[in-house]
Chain A
Amino acid sequence: MAHFAKISEENEVLQVLSMEDVHTADSEGVETESIGQQYLETHNNWPAHLWIQTSYNTHLNQHILGGTPFRGNYASVGYEWDQANNIFWPAKPYASWVKNTTTASWESPIGAAPELTEEEAAANKRYYWNEANQSWDLTDPVA
């Protein structure tokens, strides 16, 4: 199956469709994105250049079956299509976070949350991003 994201002219993902591989392949069976785009334009009333192929098995720029990752993340409604970086981005979680194009994920300006110690993990504690203070705060879910 091939998957295509329908995007708006503002690069927002409107919906994701799956289609038979035969609709994206030429007469010799070679899959080409433009063939799928043309098929979707004809049958779905939306311009070919606003259909972007996406990989069901790509997440955070890793292919979960060990293959080659494709366009960062599997697209979903509300995602942003970033043509310059060739990546589908989920919604920005916090205003201060920035894109990491290597991992196709959003990162805090001070990096990832610190590792939990064994005691903290045993106590079910978690780090939460504090946007006001621009810091990772340790929160005790029991408290």
Chain B
Amino acid sequence: MEKKVLTEQALYYGDVSMPKGFEINSDKFKADILQAKLENNNFKFSKNWDRLNTFIKDYINLKHKISLVNKSTFGNFYKPFTLTEPSLQVDPVDLRNSPDFVLLYGVQVKDCFIKIFYDDNRRKGRSWDVELKNNMFVMFPSTNMYIIGNNDSKDLNFIQTITYEYI
């Protein structure tokens, strides 16, 4: 008896372990997100963002043989005790120009979780919760809907989103 996997919904997650002296500066990254917010969400290139992006692309290629190409990026902050509306990065009416993966990176977060929705064959609407911590990323297919929750009572959570397609 044989088995063939036709598709999979995989989550990739972990810490962004940069070499000593080249760590991502979360305070500067947070400032970049706020700056972009003041400029109509126009997130400009920054050294910290580049370190994150290059690390992800290098290690996903090395460990999982997936070559990623950037589609878009934006940063956001989430208020205490809030739950976002469900988000979906794939555009169902423009699949051709949609990304394959969504990456969420914890720039400065506390009591933050990501709920990722998925279908398991006929068992629809299942979800998986991932606790997002500082300097941690989670990447999943863009066809999965997700929500971001902030359970902390006083601090904002800063998260950078990057979308990718694979080649």
Using CB atoms and an 8 Å cutoff, list the residues of chain A in contact with chain B.
Answer: 6, 8-9, 12, 14-15, 44-47, 50, 77-78
Contacts and interface: CB of A to CB of B under 8 A. Distances in A.
Interface of B: 19-22, 47, 50-51, 54, 58-59, 61-62
A45 B21 contact: no
B21 A47 contact: yes
Contact of B19 (A12, A50, A77): A50
B54 A47 contact: no
Nearest to B54: A45
Contacts of A46: 19, 22, 54
Closest 6 A-B residue pairs measured CB to CB?
A14-B58, A47-B19, A45-B51, A45-B50, A9-B19, A14-B62
Contact of A47 (B22, B47, B61, B62): B22
Contacts of A45: 22, 47, 50-51, 54
- Candidate in A9, A45, A47 with the most chain B CB atoms within 10 angstroms: A45
Nearest to A49: B19
Contacts of A8: 62
A14 B59 contact: yes
B19 A6 contact: no
A46 B22 CA distance: 7
A88 to B, nearest CB: 14
A12 B54 CA distance: 15
Contacts of B54: 44-46
* Most chain A CB neighbours (cut-off 10 Å) among B19, B47, B51, B59: B19
